[in-house]
């Protein structure tokens, strides 16, 4: 096995340019799932992936139609007695607005130094392609050591509305010993990371209504409770002075870390986050040396992702 792993790694190094070329091909497809105008691109990305699976010699390669984007499936079950892994991936990407903040075209993959810039490069066309190219490297140097199934969806960025139903109605073909989802990150460039838990997401929209019609602030300011101020007060009240969420029951079902997990976290390295010059550990989201807060990666947080009141019109960006 070690010999094959070495050979497979050597194959990957020898084919770096070809792999990079394939990566650029999939990155150039603007498979934005939130925008109807990009439906043909979604289809194109799905077909591109299925062609990759075909060329790897995968069996049962097909596009399953759903109510939205197709699900791409392929499998290789030729290794008797070996476990079967199901690899999950998604081929859709986030929208690109505001486009003028991009230094290079979002769908014109551009290599600068050791980095490649394009929408979806790290979320997650890169990871999806890595699994395919790892399999290729193994197949070309002796064959797959395990059985493998791929499931690529094209609706992750819109909340995977059709995935649960698809899984429910295809438990036979999706049966596996374990599943791998690499739609996550590494805590450092040279620090391989296995993510074994994610925080998940729950969200709500809060609307505060006031008087039935506009009131002049010269006449009513300070007399009538302004809904914008009421909303700001509500949001401000959701955290205490130490940054702890004050919503009743918010932490009620949060599991405490084990000793081992605490030790692992204490050991994590710091690194620079792209948008900040201050070193921050991506795993616990804390500045090194700072007192522990509830803002760690293993604790739930509460955020505001949009805020609107009155008639602000188009707000200029600073
Ligand atoms: Zn993702």
Residue 190 lies in a domain: no
Other beta carbons within 10 Å of 243: 10
Q: Residue 265 pLDDT > 90, yes or no? A: no
Mean pLDDT of 200-228: 90
CA–CA distance from 66 to each of 30, 63, 160, 282 (Å)? 20, 9, 11, 35
Q: DSSP per residue over 91-104, as a string? A: --B----SGGG-SS
CA pair distance 249, 20, nearest whole angstrom = 48
Mean pLDDT of 266-286: 49
CA of 146 relative to ligand 1 center, distance in Å = 25
CA of 120 relative to ligand 1 center, distance in Å = 8
pLDDT band for 214, please (50, 70, 90 cuts).
Answer: confident
CA of 22 relative to ligand 1 center, distance in Å = 19
Residue 262 lies in a domain: no
pLDDT band for 267, please (50, 70, 90 cuts).
Answer: low
**Total domain count, the chain:** 1
Instruction: Please give the pLDDT value at position 133.
Output: 98
pLDDT band for 268, please (50, 70, 90 cuts).
Answer: low
Which residues neighbour ligand 1 (ion) by CB within 5 Å?
123-124, 183
Q: Residue 300 pLDDT > 50, yes or no? A: yes
Q: At what angle do helices 126-139 and 16-27 cross, to 10 degrees?
A: 140
Mean pLDDT of 277-293: 47
Residue 313 lies in a domain: no
CA of 61 relative to ligand 1 center, distance in Å = 22
Whichever domain contains 21, its CATH number is 3.40.630.10
Handedness of CA 141, 145, 147, 151 (dihedral sign): negative
Residue 283 lies in a domain: no
Residue 242 lies in a domain: no
Which helix (H) or strand (E) segment is 50 a member of? helix 39-55
The lowest-confidence range among 9-13, 137-141, 201-205 is 201-205
Q: Residue 197 pLDDT > 90, yes or no? A: no
Residues 6 or more apart from 15 whose CB is under 8 A from it? 133, 137
CA of 156 relative to ligand 1 center, distance in Å = 7
CA pair distance 215, 221, nearest whole angstrom = 8
Residue 300 lies in a domain: no
Residue 36 lies in a domain: yes
CA of 241 relative to ligand 1 center, distance in Å = 33
Mean pLDDT of 89-106: 96
CA of 155 relative to ligand 1 center, distance in Å = 10
CA of 90 relative to ligand 1 center, distance in Å = 7
CA pair distance 50, 56, nearest whole angstrom = 10
The lowest-confidence range among 51-60, 82-91, 101-110, 251-260 is 251-260
CA of 121 relative to ligand 1 center, distance in Å = 10
* Residue 69 and residue 92 in contact, taking contact as beta carbons nearer than 8 Å: yes
User: Which of 227, 193, 230, 191 is CA-nearest to residue 210?
Assistant: 227
User: What tokens were used for 163?
Assistant: 């995935």
Say which residue, 192 or 315, is predicted with more confidence. Answer: 192
CA of 310 relative to ligand 1 center, distance in Å = 34
CA of 242 relative to ligand 1 center, distance in Å = 31
Instruction: Please give the pLDDT value at position 59.
Output: 96
Range of the domain at 115: 2-181
CA of 123 relative to ligand 1 center, distance in Å = 4
Considering the entire predicted model, what is its pTM? 0.78
CA of 222 relative to ligand 1 center, distance in Å = 46
Instruction: Rounding to the nearest 10 degrees, give the CA dihedral for residues 290, 293, 295, 297.
Output: 80
CA of 308 relative to ligand 1 center, distance in Å = 27
Q: Residue 312 pLDDT > 80, yes or no? A: no
Instruction: Please give the pLDDT value at position 287.
Output: 47
* Residue 284 and residue 294 in contact, taking contact as beta carbons nearer than 8 Å: no
CA of 237 relative to ligand 1 center, distance in Å = 32
Say which residue, 273 or 138, is predicted with more confidence. Answer: 138
pLDDT band for 266, please (50, 70, 90 cuts).
Answer: low
Q: Residue 291 pLDDT > 50, yes or no? A: no
CA of 157 relative to ligand 1 center, distance in Å = 7
Instruction: Please give the pLDDT value at position 181.
Output: 93
Residue 63 lies in a domain: yes
pLDDT band for 299, please (50, 70, 90 cuts).
Answer: confident
Say which residue, 30 or 318, is predicted with more confidence. Answer: 30
CA of 84 relative to ligand 1 center, distance in Å = 23
CA of 154 relative to ligand 1 center, distance in Å = 10
CA pair distance 187, 230, nearest whole angstrom = 40
CA of 291 relative to ligand 1 center, distance in Å = 31
């Amino acid at each position: 096995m070690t010999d094959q792993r070495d050979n497979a790694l050597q194959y990957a190094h020898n084919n770096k340019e070809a792999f990079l070329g394939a990566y650029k091909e999939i990155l150039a497809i603007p498979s934005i799932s939130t925008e109807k105008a990009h439906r043909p691109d979604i289809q194109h990305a799905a077909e591109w992936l299925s062609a990759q699976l075909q060329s790897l010699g995968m069996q049962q390669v097909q596009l399953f139609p759903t109510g939205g984007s197709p699900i791409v499936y392929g499998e290789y079950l030729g290794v008797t007695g070996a476990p079967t892994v199901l690899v999950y991936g998604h081929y859709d990407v986030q929208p690109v607005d505001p486009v003028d903040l991009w230094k290079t075209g979002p769908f014109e993959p551009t290599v600068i130094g050791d980095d490649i810039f394009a929408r979806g490069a790290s979320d997650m066309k890169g990871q999806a392609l890595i699994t395919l190219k790892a399999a290729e490297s193994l197949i070309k140097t002796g064959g797959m050591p395990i059985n493998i199934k791929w499931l690529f969806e094209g609706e992750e960025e819109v909340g995977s509305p059709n995935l649960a139903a698809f899984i429910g109605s295809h438990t036979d073909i999706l049966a596996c010993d374990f599943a791998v989802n690499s739609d996550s990150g590494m805590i450092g460039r040279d620090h391989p990371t296995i993510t074994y838990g994610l925080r998940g997401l729950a969200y709500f929209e809060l609307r505060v209504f006031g008087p039935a019609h506009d009131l002049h602030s010269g006449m009513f300011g300070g007399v009538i409770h302004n809904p914008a101020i009421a909303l700001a007060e509500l949001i401000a009240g959701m955290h205490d002075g130490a940054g702890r969420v004050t919503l009743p029951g918010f932490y009620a079902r949060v599991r405490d870390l084990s000793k081992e997990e605490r030790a692992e976290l204490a050991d994590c390295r710091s690194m620079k986050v792209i948008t900040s010059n201050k070193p921050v550990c991506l795993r616990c989201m804390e500045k090194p040396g700072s007192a522990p807060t509830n803002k760690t990666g293993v604790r739930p947080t509460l955020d505001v992702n949009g805020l609107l009141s009155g008639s602000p019109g188009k707000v200029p960006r600073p």
